[in-house]
Amino acid sequence: MQPALNPESTDTDYVFLSRWAVRDYNIRRGDVISLSSPKDPNQKIIKRVVALQGDVVSTMGYKNKYLKVPEGHCWVEGDHTGHTLDSNTFGPVSLGLINAKAVCIVWPPARWQKLEAKLPESRKPLSIAM
Protein backbone atom coordinates (compact mmCIF):
# COMPACT_ATOMS: atom_id res chain seq x y z
CA MET A 1 0.00 0.00 0.00
CA GLN A 2 2.93 2.41 -0.43
CA PRO A 3 2.92 5.38 -0.40
CA ALA A 4 -0.32 5.83 1.56
CA LEU A 5 0.85 3.38 4.23
CA ASN A 6 4.44 2.52 5.19
CA PRO A 7 6.09 5.16 2.96
CA GLU A 8 9.49 3.90 4.05
CA SER A 9 9.51 0.16 4.27
CA THR A 10 11.54 0.21 7.50
CA ASP A 11 8.92 1.49 9.92
CA THR A 12 5.40 0.16 9.90
CA ASP A 13 2.27 2.20 10.29
CA TYR A 14 -0.50 1.18 12.63
CA VAL A 15 -4.01 1.96 11.44
CA PHE A 16 -7.33 2.12 13.23
CA LEU A 17 -9.80 -0.31 11.66
CA SER A 18 -13.46 0.43 12.04
CA ARG A 19 -15.74 -2.59 11.84
CA TRP A 20 -18.74 -0.38 12.45
CA ALA A 21 -18.17 1.47 9.17
CA VAL A 22 -18.67 -1.70 7.12
CA ARG A 23 -21.55 -3.24 9.04
CA ASP A 24 -23.89 -2.75 6.07
CA TYR A 25 -21.19 -3.38 3.47
CA ASN A 26 -21.67 0.08 2.06
CA ILE A 27 -18.16 0.96 1.04
CA ARG A 28 -17.18 3.67 -1.41
CA ARG A 29 -14.67 3.77 -4.20
CA GLY A 30 -11.30 4.86 -2.84
CA ASP A 31 -11.80 3.53 0.69
CA VAL A 32 -8.99 1.56 2.29
CA ILE A 33 -10.37 -1.71 3.62
CA SER A 34 -9.02 -4.79 5.32
CA LEU A 35 -10.24 -8.15 4.14
CA SER A 36 -9.28 -11.78 4.53
CA SER A 37 -7.35 -12.95 1.52
CA PRO A 38 -9.31 -15.14 -0.89
CA LYS A 39 -6.21 -17.26 -1.40
CA ASP A 40 -5.46 -17.88 2.26
CA PRO A 41 -8.28 -17.38 4.78
CA ASN A 42 -5.83 -16.89 7.66
CA GLN A 43 -4.20 -13.92 6.05
CA LYS A 44 -5.54 -10.38 6.28
CA ILE A 45 -4.76 -7.93 3.52
CA ILE A 46 -5.32 -4.19 3.28
CA LYS A 47 -6.25 -2.69 -0.09
CA ARG A 48 -8.01 0.20 -1.72
CA VAL A 49 -11.45 -0.27 -3.27
CA VAL A 50 -11.29 0.62 -6.95
CA ALA A 51 -14.69 -0.45 -8.23
CA LEU A 52 -17.98 -1.65 -6.82
CA GLN A 53 -20.54 -4.05 -8.26
CA GLY A 54 -21.64 -3.20 -11.77
CA ASP A 55 -18.62 -1.01 -12.58
CA VAL A 56 -16.42 -1.79 -15.54
CA VAL A 57 -12.71 -1.76 -14.76
CA SER A 58 -9.72 -2.00 -17.03
CA THR A 59 -7.52 -4.61 -15.41
CA MET A 60 -3.76 -4.81 -15.30
CA GLY A 61 -2.64 -8.35 -15.99
CA TYR A 62 -5.86 -10.17 -15.19
CA LYS A 63 -7.20 -12.74 -17.66
CA ASN A 64 -9.73 -10.33 -19.19
CA LYS A 65 -8.66 -6.84 -20.22
CA TYR A 66 -11.98 -5.31 -19.22
CA LEU A 67 -14.25 -6.73 -16.59
CA LYS A 68 -17.64 -5.93 -15.17
CA VAL A 69 -17.54 -6.43 -11.43
CA PRO A 70 -20.19 -9.04 -10.56
CA GLU A 71 -22.98 -8.53 -8.06
CA GLY A 72 -21.89 -8.56 -4.43
CA HIS A 73 -18.23 -8.17 -5.32
CA CYS A 74 -15.73 -5.35 -5.46
CA TRP A 75 -12.39 -4.77 -7.16
CA VAL A 76 -9.51 -3.98 -4.80
CA GLU A 77 -5.99 -2.88 -5.63
CA GLY A 78 -2.90 -1.91 -3.71
CA ASP A 79 -1.50 1.57 -4.29
CA HIS A 80 1.97 0.31 -5.13
CA THR A 81 1.20 -0.95 -8.62
CA GLY A 82 3.33 -3.88 -9.63
CA HIS A 83 4.36 -4.82 -6.09
CA THR A 84 0.99 -5.86 -4.84
CA LEU A 85 -1.12 -8.96 -4.75
CA ASP A 86 -4.60 -7.71 -5.46
CA SER A 87 -7.65 -8.20 -7.66
CA ASN A 88 -5.40 -8.20 -10.71
CA THR A 89 -4.18 -11.58 -9.44
CA PHE A 90 -7.19 -13.14 -7.77
CA GLY A 91 -10.07 -11.33 -9.44
CA PRO A 92 -13.00 -9.54 -7.87
CA VAL A 93 -13.52 -10.28 -4.17
CA SER A 94 -16.80 -10.95 -2.45
CA LEU A 95 -18.04 -8.26 -0.08
CA GLY A 96 -18.43 -10.90 2.63
CA LEU A 97 -14.65 -11.11 2.99
CA ILE A 98 -14.39 -7.50 4.12
CA ASN A 99 -13.51 -7.14 7.80
CA ALA A 100 -13.14 -3.46 8.41
CA LYS A 101 -12.39 -0.07 6.97
CA ALA A 102 -9.11 1.68 7.76
CA VAL A 103 -9.99 5.11 9.12
CA CYS A 104 -6.75 6.70 10.27
CA ILE A 105 -3.09 6.09 10.93
CA VAL A 106 -2.52 6.13 14.68
CA TRP A 107 1.15 5.25 15.03
CA PRO A 108 3.83 6.65 14.73
CA PRO A 109 2.48 9.97 16.04
CA ALA A 110 4.28 11.98 13.38
CA ARG A 111 2.20 10.25 10.73
CA TRP A 112 -1.13 10.77 12.50
CA GLN A 113 -3.67 11.43 9.74
CA LYS A 114 -7.00 10.41 8.39
CA LEU A 115 -7.02 8.06 5.42
CA GLU A 116 -8.91 9.83 2.68
CA ALA A 117 -10.95 8.04 0.05
CA LYS A 118 -9.00 8.92 -3.05
CA LEU A 119 -8.37 7.19 -6.32
CA PRO A 120 -5.80 8.12 -8.96
CA GLU A 121 -7.42 9.41 -12.13
CA SER A 122 -5.89 6.58 -14.15
CA ARG A 123 -7.47 3.88 -11.99
CA LYS A 124 -11.01 5.20 -11.95
CA PRO A 125 -13.48 2.62 -13.28
CA LEU A 126 -14.36 3.03 -16.94
CA SER A 127 -18.04 3.14 -16.23
CA ILE A 128 -19.71 3.66 -12.91
CA ALA A 129 -22.87 1.84 -11.99
CA MET A 130 -25.72 3.86 -10.58
Partner 1 sequence: MTILKVLGKTCGFFGYVIQYACVTHCTFEYIGDFVMCSGPSMEPTLESNNILLTEHLTPRLQRLRRGDIVIAKSPSNPKQNICKRITGLPGDKVKGHFPKRSQVVPRGHVWLEGDNSGNSSDSRLYGPVPQGLIRSRVVCRVWPLNKISSLTEY
**From CA 52, how far away is CA 41, in angstroms rounded?**
22
> Residues in the chain, how many?
130
Please identify, using beta-carbon distances, which residue of 6 and 38 lies nearer to partner 1.
38
Please identify, using beta-carbon distances, which residue of 39 and 114 lies nearer to partner 1.
39
The residues binding partner 1 (CB under 8 A) are 25, 35-42, 70-73, 93-98
Please identify, using beta-carbon distances, which residue of 68 and 123 lies nearer to partner 1.
68
Question: Three-class SS of residue 49?
Answer: strand
- To partner 1, the closest distance from the beta carbon of 41 in angstroms equals 4
